[in-house]
Structure 1
Amino acid sequence: MTRILHHSFLVLLSLAIALSSAWAVLALWYRLPLAPGLRLGLAVGFALLGLAVICGLFRPRRLRALATYCLALAAVLTWWISLTPPASRDWAPDVARQVTGEIKGSQLTLTNLRNFTWRSPTDFDPHWEQRHYDLDTLDTVDLFMSYWAGKTIAHMIVSFGFANGEQIAWSVEVRRQKDGAFSPLADMFKSNTLAIIAADERDLVGTRTNARGEDVQLYRLNTGPKQARALLLQYVAASNQLAETPRWYNSLSTNCTTVVFQLIRTILGEVPLDWRVMANGYLPEYAYDMGVLATALPLSELTQKGRITARAQAHGIAADYSRMIRQGVPIPQPD
């Protein structure tokens, strides 16, 4: 029995070394500020060290091998913890500025709200604005899901509507450097920082329906003015904090869905965590189960009525874009 437990422990220890080695190899490859050849050499060297230590666990001098690995891993962790997100870089134009907000009474002023005109993903006119909103007229909250990589992965946008027809669309995004690319794997290793974008819907949603041609689905949310206001103020507070203290983007733990989920939890308390938060393409199903959508209709019908890309492309990015894309999209009935 003791022998079985001993071997089981060594197997578990081997697995821990294998996983930590894999993490360290990727961290060294993606983040070391060295030439590609040197980065590759150090990453391969750490992988070989991990392999050698795993083999050494089943030999008499295993403690020496394990101590050597722990020292090497501690060195990588110390370097990793020292990495801090940059406040300034040569950012890509669409994430060059971080929105901030100021509240005086019921008046919200947003500075660096984005209102680009997009003709294609690479052809656009940049424009940043300051806009004013009356929080007492905040009326609705809507969810956009933009599917760009199959049914499992989508980009999430939350939009707040006011009585006068104005909308503020919010998006949590990767703050890429100019000519930088989005990589889900690289962005797990402190490659890019986080950006919160507030924008006109013709910009933030229009670029996805018309310039990129993604499958964009619109869902009206069952949220009262009080909850809507609390969530909007959370977006403003998070944006102000981000402008002051940059954060790393992480495609698993700090992305467009998880950040919003955390914001919602600060208002509603304990909202059950679900695997569909991570595989966010299924988030409408989760929201439907939670009673946030128009549950009087089947989810499949809501999804079909909420698909807005085809009619947005037929209509174009006109002044009435926000009104047009909501035509025929079911509105939840209040409880």
Structure 2
Amino acid sequence: MSNKLHPALSASLNILLSLIILLAATWGGIALFYQIPMNMPWLAGVLLAWAALSLFALTHLWRYSRWQGCLIYLALHCTLLLWWNTLTPSNERIWEDDVAQMTSGKVEGDLVTLFNVRNFDWHSETQYTPRWETRQYDLSQLQSVDMLTSHWGMDAIAHVLVSFGFNDGQFVTFSVEIRKKKGQKFSEIAGFFKQYELSILATDERDAVAVRPNVRGEDTFLYRIDMPVDIRRALFLSYIDQANQLIEQPRFYNTVTANCTTMVFSMMQHISGGLPLDSRLLLTGYLPSYIKELDGLTSGFDLTQLRNAGRITERSKHAPLNENYSKIIRQGVPGWSDKN
């Protein structure tokens, strides 16, 4: 029995090790594709060389020595990782106009000054009037926190924004953004491979909120968050702290670990703690149901009611440049009333 079992176990181990090598080699090939500064056909040559070396290690594993084959690939992958770790984020690149500046903030008691608040007038995706402003806010007047989710395809995927409202009628929206270099397009896969830097932008609601339904054709929903005053203030200050840190220490965006939801989750976990991990932190379109289960949304309404009443898509389209834009999009949203 043992003589028959040994070859089976040996083959199973070879298959397992081969799968690990194939997965690692695939990761390495994609990393080279996105990061090697070469055009075709030179890039194709590098990728073919990587594939050939990985295949050589696999062949050695099956035909000669399992462990020698593993060591050959391990040496290859370690070399790749040494190069990979030389890729560092930078704030000194030629950026697309909408992320050309980075928001920063200064806090003096209750007075907050935000620099580079984006307030573009969007006429189309490629036509806009750029404006970067300095604005001041009184934290003692901080009244509300809203979460917005904006969908452009699948229900499961959405961009998440957080908007803070003040008693004087001001609103400021924070958005965790990728910093695209001139000519770059966004790709979820590229987001795993150090392709974009990370930015936290403060914007006027008529910019970052309105551009999504009005210009990009996204379906956008607003939910009022039920948040204690001290947590509300701490979250606002945390956004400023994170934005300032990104100016001093740039970071890469990551599709899973450093995106528009996980960054906010990390801030809230630091502030209050005890938040459970959940798949909806990655499937951001379902994030409202996660917050609802934590009793974080306006009480007295089920999620369907909150979603239907909070759909601001059409209201936004009818008030793109209205001075009362923030008030108009909140009409009928649970937790908001004319008195707010």
- Residues 273-317 of structure 1 deviation map (CA, whole Å, 9 limit, x = unaligned): 100111111111111111111242121111111110112112332
- Alignment correspondent of 1:307: 311
Q: Structure 2: where are the runs of 5+ without partners? A: none
| 2:261 is aligned with 1:257 | yes
Question: Secondary structure in 2 aligned to 1:232?
Answer: helix
| 2:319 is aligned with 1:320 | no
More displaced 10-residue stretch of structure 1: 123-132 or 33-42? 33-42
Distance 1:198 1:73 in 2: 40
| 2:50 is aligned with 1:56 | no
Select 1:246's aligned residue among 241, 244, 250: 250
Distance 1:43 1:292 in 2: 48
| 2:148 is aligned with 1:148 | no
The answer to whether the 8 Å contact 1:139/1:224 transfers is no
The answer to whether the 8 Å contact 1:140/1:224 transfers is no
Question: Secondary structure in 2 aligned to 1:168?
Answer: strand
The answer to whether the 8 Å contact 1:53/1:69 transfers is yes
Question: Secondary structure in 1 aligned to 2:74?
Answer: helix
- Residues 168-216 of structure 1 deviation map (CA, whole Å, 9 limit, x = unaligned): 1000011001221111111211111011110110111011121222100
- Residues 120-172 of structure 1 deviation map (CA, whole Å, 9 limit, x = unaligned): 11111000011111111111100000001221111000001111111110000
| 2:205 is aligned with 1:196 | no
Question: Secondary structure in 1 aligned to 2:163?
Answer: strand
- Residues 32-69 of structure 1 deviation map (CA, whole Å, 9 limit, x = unaligned): 11233222222222223323433432333333332221
| 2:129 is aligned with 1:128 | no
Select 1:268's aligned residue among 268, 272, 277: 272
Distance 2:17 2:28 in 1: 16
Distance 2:18 2:300 in 1: 52
- Alignment correspondent of 2:221: 217
- Alignment correspondent of 1:20: 24
**What is the one-letter code of the residue matched to 2:165?**
G
Distance 1:80 1:36 in 2: 21
What does 1:31-110 correspond to in 2, within 5 Å?
31-110=35-114
Distance 2:270 2:43 in 1: 41
Distance 2:156 2:44 in 1: 32
Cα RMSD (Å): 1.5
The answer to whether the 8 Å contact 1:145/1:154 transfers is yes
Question: Secondary structure in 1 aligned to 2:275?
Answer: coil
- Alignment correspondent of 2:164: 160
More displaced 10-residue stretch of structure 1: 5-14 or 174-183? 5-14
**What is the one-letter code of the residue matched to 1:42?**
V
**What is the one-letter code of the residue matched to 2:133?**
E
Distance 1:35 1:157 in 2: 36
Question: Secondary structure in 2 aligned to 1:164?
Answer: coil
**What is the one-letter code of the residue matched to 2:314?**
A
- Alignment correspondent of 2:236: 232
The answer to whether the 8 Å contact 2:59/2:69 transfers is no
**What is the one-letter code of the residue matched to 1:180?**
Q
- Alignment correspondent of 2:283: 279
- Alignment correspondent of 1:138: 142
Distance 1:260 1:52 in 2: 45
- Alignment correspondent of 2:210: 206
Q: Structure 1: where are the runs of 5+ without partners? A: none
Residue 270 of structure 1 and its aligned partner are, at CA, apart by 2.6
**What is the one-letter code of the residue matched to 2:241?**
A
Distance 2:104 2:126 in 1: 26
**Aligned-pair identity (%):** 41
Residue 5 of structure 1 and its aligned partner are, at CA, apart by 4.2
Question: Secondary structure in 1 aligned to 2:85?
Answer: helix
Structure-2-length-normalised TM-score: 0.94
Distance 1:321 1:229 in 2: 24
